[in-house]
Amino acid sequence: MKVIISGGGTGGHIYPAIAIASKIKEKHPTCDILFIGTSSGLESDLVPKAGYEIKTITVSYLRRKISLHNLKSAGMLLKGLWEARKIIKDFQPDIVIGTGGFVCGPVVYMASKLGIKTLIHEQNVFPGITNKILGNYVDRIAISFEEAQKYFKQKNKLVVTGNPIREEFFKITSEEASLRYKVNRPLVLIVGGSGGSASINKAVIDMLVEHPRNQFEVLLVTGKRHYKELMEKLSQHKEVLQYNRIIEYMDDMPYALKACDLIICSAGAITITEINAVGKPAILIPKAYTAENHQEYNATALEARGAALVIKEKDLKSDYLLSKIEEILNNKEKLQSMERASLDASKKLVAEKIYQEIIKLLKH
């Protein structure tokens, strides 16, 4: 069996792609899997680390207005289509899978034009533009939330699977996780998605500068591009680092998430799925600039289930954040009911369901 998987830009598109690849490998150990991404996306780092080969193509995004950039983008799109065609023809896959991000547009489109079976996976309640367009060409559309069905016209192609995440989230025990990350205070993990969030970082740093030593310990993951500047700022506030931990990227998210008592994060769909898998309560701060404001849809869906509290970026102030953290941590009943609701929202066997869809397509 030969499979091409494409998806990239941010972790929210790459980790599901890796989870699908691992499931296929588990079922077919001799299967050949090739990833297609871009050289600038996070995938060129994460995919080889996960043990898979990746080839890169040229991609750009189109802006709404006609501009010099747009003409250049159109040229790059043609180049990307041509490069994708060559890789697909050389590799001869049985199926091509897309997990979102601009890069999977030319790859999955070209595969469908070449008559190869295709499946896309959408992680969010509100679908991304690439997947919405690809919906017209692919054989199957796997979605993660029932609420997403209304945004796709091609009802007969839809299947609700949930978001596939790394197996470790289901396997690690609390004891193993605590050994790695826990101290003698409650642990509050804070992360603004795979790229970090400037507004979350600011509110948290302001909070810690004001209150460096709390009843809880903060483990802040800043995102690589924000780290240096924040650490420079903190050089005058040594006590913040004495009582809390600040890192640029968390390579060990399954352990850190399992070890924490509360997570504060932006509302990326994969992080939310991981939170539910380990049954943690969350404060969600949707990134306001995301396409069609899709993070707010993700966040509200979890809040409606009683597993999260949502703070809009415009309301995010350090004092307010501190009061909400304390309110949740100090109310055992609330904490436990949020934990239960979070676990209840978790979908099981997602990668297996997607794998079964792949097999069905290949049999036809």
CA–chain centroid gap for 358, Å, is 22
- CA dist., res. 269 & res. 254, Å (int): 15
* Nearest C-alpha neighbor of 19 from the set 138, 144, 133: 144
**Residue 295 engages ligand UD1 in binding (rule: CB under 6 A):** yes
Half-sphere exposure of 28 (CA within 13 A, CB side): 15
Shortest distance in whole angstroms from residue 312 CB to ligand UD1: 15
295 annotated among ligand-binding-site residues = yes
80 annotated among ligand-binding-site residues = no
Residue 70, Cβ density class (10 Å: 0-12 exposed, 13-18 middle, ≥19 buried):
middle
**Residue 121 engages ligand UD1 in binding (rule: CB under 6 A):** no
**Residue 321 engages ligand UD1 in binding (rule: CB under 6 A):** no
Tell which one of 191, 284, 301, 321 touches ligand UD1 (CB under 6 A): 191
* Tokens representing residue 87 in the block: 């890789």
Q: Centre a 10 Å sphere on the Cβ of residue 352 and count the other Cβ atoms it contains.
A: 13
Taking every pair of Cα atoms in the chain, the longest distance, rounded to a whole number of angstroms, is 64
346 annotated among ligand-binding-site residues = no
166 annotated among ligand-binding-site residues = yes
Shortest distance in whole angstroms from residue 362 CB to ligand UD1: 26
Angle between helices 198-210 and 318-329 (to 10 degrees): 80
Of 88 and 119, which CB lies nearer to ligand UD1 in the complex structure? Answer: 119
128 annotated among ligand-binding-site residues = no
* Nearest C-alpha neighbor of 354 from the set 99, 103, 34: 99
Tell which one of 3, 5, 8, 12 touches ligand UD1 (CB under 6 A): 12
Sheet with strand 140-143: strands edge to edge: 53-56, 32-37, 2-6, 95-98, 117-122, 140-143, 158-160
**Residue 123 engages ligand UD1 in binding (rule: CB under 6 A):** yes
String of contacts with ligand UD1 for each residue 204-243, x by CB under 6 A:
-----------------x----------------------
Tell which one of 24, 270, 325, 329 touches ligand UD1 (CB under 6 A): 270
String of contacts with ligand UD1 for each residue 136-165, x by CB under 6 A:
------------------------------
Annotated binding site for UDP-N-acetyl-alpha-D-glucosamine: 10-12, 124, 166, 194, 295
Residues that bind ligand UD1 (CB under 6 A): 10-13, 15, 100, 123-124, 191, 193-195, 221, 249-250, 253, 268-271, 274, 287, 290, 294-295, 298
